[in-house]
């Protein structure tokens, strides 16, 4: 479907606005600068015994310390991976297999990222039994339901810290306390929340946590996994003794250095800027007829807006916004080509006449008010046009 919507601008795209930072972010130039010496000067293999290797090892260990300090972990509790998906799979599958002698029951929620849900499906094929926790209309789990779900054979709970689609932030400390009291391993996917929400692995009773670089203005293809000292996991990759024998493969030194620099650059000032812009946009979007903000308004990521419009399709909104130069998504980028209704929106009981008309807008610390105004102006025009064309509008 094609609709001429750019009448305000004479048919021309006036700006290009990137509002899909939940999928990936522009790398911070300072992170890129930090990486450059690792291509031409610090290029040795970190496992090599000569000075070239030692220099690379020093760069990796310095980066490991940066990530560890961000979450109050010990330096030897951080291993580097290729990203959030590998970290999730290593944590979930690795912990389940390593602790299978204690039980075969595992718990997660109905709104997890596919990297978590598909890891659980894999384990189910291997004989593990899964309980999928419900969420309320904001996307929050019930702690009492979690308590009741834990049985003698429960060995692992995985609850994401903040949802990638609707931005809802879980009470991870309350969840962690329950798991620690029950002697059950807690894994949390913090890919969206890392640096945006305070994480203290000790105070929050977290055993395993997944991180990703490209969500925080670092390079793609690198992430990390926190493994609390004493927690047993079986590695997924088998090779040399890299990353404390838990993740085989030569470390991506440039990526790791860039990741650490990006993490170092994230701060509360940037978060406050994103929050103000998010709230500014939400107030404007709420005035568009038939708009419904999905998720919690209070317990929400500082950069996330998920909105549905009655009787129209999110894919059509996305396409027409793209024609106007504005990039958003219809959900998680990892499965945005899948036209099935969002499992997250279904779980929070979004009405059927709204569920297909959802888009996710995610700002970054580099997003400007001018860009926000341009995006909302075009969104208003597009929704009006599509609503007029829709038989359900």
Residues with a catalytic annotation lie at 334
Q: Where on the phi/psi map is residue 249: left (φ > 0), alpha (ψ -120 to 50), or beta?
A: left
3-state secondary structure of 391: coil
Residues facing residue 293 across a β-bridge: 307
* Alpha carbons 53 and 48: distance in angstroms, whole number: 5
Half-sphere exposure in the Cβ direction for 196 (13 Å, CA) = 32
With beta carbons less than 8 A apart as the criterion, state whether 96 and 153 touch.
no
3-state secondary structure of 6: helix
Six token digits for residue 391: 């038989």
Residues 6+ apart with CB under 8 A from 115: 84, 85, 88, 89, 189, 334
* Alpha carbons 168 and 160: distance in angstroms, whole number: 10
* Alpha carbons 262 and 242: distance in angstroms, whole number: 23
List, as one string, the DSSP characters of 292-317.
EE-S-SSSB-TTEEEEEETTS-HHHH
């Amino acid at each position: 479907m094609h609709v001429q919507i750019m009448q305000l601008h004479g048919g021309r795209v006036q700006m290009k606005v990137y509002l899909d930072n939940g999928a990936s972010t522009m790398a911070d130039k300072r992170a890129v600068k930090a990486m450059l010496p690792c291509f031409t000067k610090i290029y040795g293999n970190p496992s090599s015994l000569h000075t070239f290797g030692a220099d690379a090892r020093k760069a990796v260990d310095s980066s490991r310390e940066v990530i560890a300090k961000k979450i109050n972990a010990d330096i030897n509790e951080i291993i580097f991976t290729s990203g959030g998906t590998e970290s999730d799979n290593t944590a979930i599958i690795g912990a389940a297999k390593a602790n299978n002698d204690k039980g075969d029951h595992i718990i997660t929620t109905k709104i997890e990222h596919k990297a978590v849900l598909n890891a659980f499906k894999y384990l189910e094929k291997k004989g593990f039994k899964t309980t999928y926790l419900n969420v309320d209309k904001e996307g929050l789990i019930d702690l009492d339901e979690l308590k009741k779900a834990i049985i003698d054979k429960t060995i692992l709970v995985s609850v994401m810290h903040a949802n990638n689609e609707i931005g809802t932030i879980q009470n991870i400390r309350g969840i962690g306390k329950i798991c620690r009291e029950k002697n059950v391993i807690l894994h949390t996917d913090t890919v969206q929340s890392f640096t945006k929400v305070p994480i203290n692995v000790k105070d929050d009773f977290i055993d395993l946590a997944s991180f990703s670089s490209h969500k925080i203005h670092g390079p793609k293809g690198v992430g990390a996994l926190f493994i609390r000292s004493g927690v047993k996991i079986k590695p997924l990759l088998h090779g040399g003794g890299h990353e404390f024998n838990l993740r085989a493969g030569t470390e991506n030194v440039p990526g790791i250095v860039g990741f650490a620099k990006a993490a170092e650059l994230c701060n509360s000032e940037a978060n406050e800027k994103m929050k103000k812009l998010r709230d500014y946009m939400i107030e404007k979007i709420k005035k568009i007829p038939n708009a419904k903000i999905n998720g919690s308004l209070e317990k929400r990521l500082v950069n996330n807006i998920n909105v549905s419009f009655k009787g129209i399709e999110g894919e059509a909104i996305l396409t027409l916004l793209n024609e106007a130069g504005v990039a958003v998504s219809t959900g998680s980028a990892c499965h945005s080509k899948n036209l099935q209704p969002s499992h997250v929106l279904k779980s929070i009981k979004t009405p059927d006449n709204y569920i297909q008309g959802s888009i996710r807008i995610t700002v970054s610390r580099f997003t400007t008010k001018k860009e926000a105004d341009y995006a909302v102006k075009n969104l208003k025009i597009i929704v009006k046009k599509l609503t007029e064309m829709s038989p359900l509008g």
